[in-house]
Chains A and B, each alone.
Chain A
Amino acid sequence: NAGVTQTPKFQVLKTGQSMTLQCAQDMNHNSMYWYRQDPGMGLRLIYYSASEGTTDKGEVPNGYNVSRLNKREFSLRLESAAPSQTSVYFCASSEAGGGRSKTQYFGPGTRLLVL
């Protein structure tokens, strides 16, 4: 099993460009999450999907959109990138169900630089 995979690993964008970060998991998990991690700020939740067909905003959703394409895939889109979106982005999945979160499994991250 590959676990959680993310593409791309690195990306450089110019201000105003758009891009989609891809995430897929092969563990049959219900819930998926997108985080960003900045120095000194810890992990901050951008969006999450408790189950296939649902998405909800996290702590820092502005400037992002998500799509839960199917149970395996959860993508994050930056419509018009800004330098403030320079960060490391992690996707995660978990078995969460019944309103409880369980262990999260993280992808290797995407390092994004917006110039």
Chain B
Amino acid sequence: RKEVEQDPGPFNVPEGATVAFNCTYSNSASQSFFWYRQDCRKEPKLLMSVYSSGNEDGRFTAQLNRASQYISLLIRDSKLSDSATYLCVVNKGGSYIPTFGRGTSLIVHP
């Protein structure tokens, strides 16, 4: 089993839709969790950290389920500009090295 797994998609949704991605991780010692966004031919950029109690930033909500070892990202009221690849990042305790998922592609169409 890969350390961090994501459905590659693409998720193809209309503007205004709500879409959710999950990411599963295999190491129960994982302590830090992030979602990054990567636009085509650009570098990854932090979208949001994921906290144990869940957190929200505008239209984006991130949640962590330690028991089932997954994190999720919910995007409400999708915009055309949300089209990108979303990378799940997990870091296990005591490590300097984050582990990246391969990303989930989102395409928002008019």
Mark A residues whose CB is within 8 Å of B.
Answer: 31, 40-43, 45, 48, 50, 58, 90, 96, 99-109
State the main secondary structure of chain A at its contact with B: loop
Mark B residues whose CB is within 8 Å of A.
Answer: 8, 31-32, 34, 42-46, 49, 87, 89, 91, 93-98, 100-103
Distance (whole angstroms) from the CB of B34 to the closest CB of chain A: 7
Distance (whole angstroms) from the CB of B97 to the closest CB of chain A: 6
Judging by beta carbons under 8 Å apart, are B98 and A104 in contact? yes
Judging by beta carbons under 8 Å apart, are B95 and A101 in contact? yes
Judging by beta carbons under 8 Å apart, are A50 and B103 in contact? no
Residues of A within 8 A of B32 (CB): 100-102
Judging by beta carbons under 8 Å apart, are B96 and A50 in contact? yes
Distance (whole angstroms) from the CB of A92 to the closest CB of chain B: 8
Judging by beta carbons under 8 Å apart, are B98 and A31 in contact? no
The one of B93, B94, B96, B100 in contact with A48, judged by C-beta atoms closer than 8 angstroms, is B96
Judging by beta carbons under 8 Å apart, are B43 and A42 in contact? no
Distance between Cα atoms of A94 and B82 in the complex (Å): 25
Distance between Cα atoms of A48 and B96 in the complex (Å): 9
